[in-house]
Structure 1
Amino acid sequence: MYVRGLGGERPAVPVAPERLQAAAQARLNAADFAYIAGGAGAERTMRANLAAFERVRLLPRQLSGSRDRDLSVELLGHTLVAPLLLAPIGVLEAAHPEADLAVARAAAAERVPFVFSSQASVPMEDCAAAMGDSPRWFQLYWGTDDEVTRSFVRRAETCGAQAIILTLDTTLLGWRPRDLDLGSLPFLRGRGIAQYLSDPVFRSRLDSPLPAPALQPARTPTLLRAAAELSTRGRKYSLNLSQMRAGAARFTGTYTRPDLGWDDVSHLREWTGLPILLKGILHPDDAREARARGVDGLIVSNHGGRQIDGEVAALDMLPAVVAAAGDLPVLLDSGVRTGSDVAKALALGARAVLIGRPYVYGLALAGEAGVREVIQNVMAELDLTLGLMGVRAARELTSEHVRL
């Protein structure tokens, strides 16, 4: 980057997290940026996630470094080139027209796992085809239609997913003022529901749509524009406007399940032989119950602060969950912005981390190339951090390398 700078070339994607977000905001319209960047309520949880990393300080050792550092980690029987995954993010078309497909290509190029979202803008099959043999996982939202859920699991298996992540903290959609103030929910416009519209079981339900007053025939200019969007998206799936309205209505009426319980986790264990990770674990007792239910890993997360306002910071709960998890691998997301953040999470017991908003901002700025730059920046800073701390491998980071 410095050498290219001699010729006047600047990075397409700002390196500093704050400037990265600001550049993406300048590129996106208000509704799309609100959906990507917003959090629950007064966004106290979002701020708490960032503040938690501020409270953890790295403690380097001198004269113990190495010319080359090893970023690789072992996870669920696979070797990852770095302790980094791309988190599942819904409605990526809000950031860039190529959406999940651009992210899939970027992840494949950098050999980091991409977690396909249930709320994707591109079907998982298309993303898997673009990734070759690169690692991919699938994130599952469990709605009220168990047959659709099972269909998603079967498709993920067929797509070569190496694991299923069951998200637990979004059985209801959080109170999100940025979206509410704009009256903007992308799913009502047919955005972010590609996995559903491409699913044979879900499509078989479209002849019996659920009632949705917001989706009645368009009469105002705004509704007419929404109808035009639905029609355009419907053509991708050979669906007419009526079917698209039915699809959006059925999705909004069935995709959340507030009464999801531990027995459902046991059912999922019966449905698939793939490793299962539970995402949204914050309480140590939930980690213990997860072990008893035979899951394969945990993800400490508060959904990036998008669900409960005033919730505990994910990083603050990481050590306690790791202690309760026993031999289960524990990952972390929520608030990770930099390579030094990754180092802090690893030192506190995480096996790997997931990044979310940063790569979406890169996607907004430069598509696939922008996502790659964000990945490269995080990995480069992690490598330099290890070198400056006198640590030869990412997996060697321990609590001895941090002070609270």
Structure 2
Amino acid sequence: MRLFHTSDWHLGQNLHGQERDFEHSSFLDWLLRQLKQEQPDVLLIAGDIFDTVNPPVKAQEGLYDFIVSAHEQQPLLTIVMIAGNHDSGARIELPAPLMRRLRTHALGRVLWLDDGQLDAERLLLPLPDASGAIGGWCLALPFLRPAEVTGAQLGDDYLKGIGQVHARLIAAAEAKREPGQALIAISHAHMAGGSISEDSERSLIIGNAEALPASLFGPSISYVALGHLHKPQKVNGEERIRYSGSPIPLSFSEIDYKHQILDVRLDGETLVSVEPRLIPRAVHLQRLGPAPLAEILLQLGQLPDIDLLADEQRQPWLEVRIRLDEPQPDLRQQVETALQNKAVRLVRIAAEYAGNRTGDSSEDGAQLIELDQLSPQELFSRAWHDNYGSEVDEQTLKDFAVLLQDVQMETEQP
């Protein structure tokens, strides 16, 4: 059996207010060509399909056009996609009855039966191989929100509830499979030891409490297809537990990532190989600095001029990081003047003052950080410190996490 492992498409994402539809469309076109050329049995999409719980119509159209096109060119392809923490589980599942006709399974939520047992059947999906025989079973684990894994039956311990979901689902899968059939888990989670991208990955829960141990996936699981962390990586060096990473750089911190999908091959229950397939970058991200203003202006002047025959949609996104000794009221005007007729698209200017990190600065030297650089947890912690003059305690942070999850659940209704 052969699988393509992808994750974190973040359709509808924008970069400091700039739409990225062209980049996402280029990736989906490339992926369609790869599917046609290589004919894998299964395509896995491990969560964060969309960037927000209420994605733009164009982003939704892009996903469903892709699914229809993939089915038309490869009718035997099985697609499994799960909701991530950026997605609405209800929205992901809404068209599920229609998508099943296209051999596409969409799982957004974990449900419990009236007797308190996990509804494992809906999370266990058969994976036919090229001959049509069931070559394995997919254990679909969408992002597990506290409300789904805590309560009267499971208690109030979030991590313990997650562990019970994994244990029950794996037990159900082991009971269902026949000899020679592989168990493939697809999950959207932060595994302990994973390397994160600070600028674009939303924390799943307060602090480090969301980091799950790899031991949740015992040796009976042949391969674990993970989503959430944007950097491609193995978990604790294990060949069988992987993040494929995002298909495009979602922030300037991801400029140097090798964006890829993973080509996974199995022989029965045995993992044979995991090979990266590098994704061509449709639009490059370019960063200048940090450097003094005079040096930055010189570098901007040396950038290539606009080629009227070139595709404007492929012009790089540019971030400029400038070191300043004192405020420059006309800073943006100077930068934009230097960029006239240059073949780049400016999306951010970040100023650094002596003794401060990147950001803007007030007259008294205190740093002002852009709101889009702070998570809700960081904003809450800063507000607490400003109001009470002390660091917020762990229990209050946990209570805030529960309230935050409740609000996110309310906004998920399609």
TM-score by length of 2: 0.32
Which protein is richer in strand relative to its size? 2
Larger radius of gyration: 2
- Structure in which a larger fraction of residues adopt helix: 1
| Higher relative contact order, structure no. (Cα contacts within 8 Å, ≥ 6 residues apart) | 1
What TM-score, normalized by structure 1, do the two folds share?
Answer: 0.33
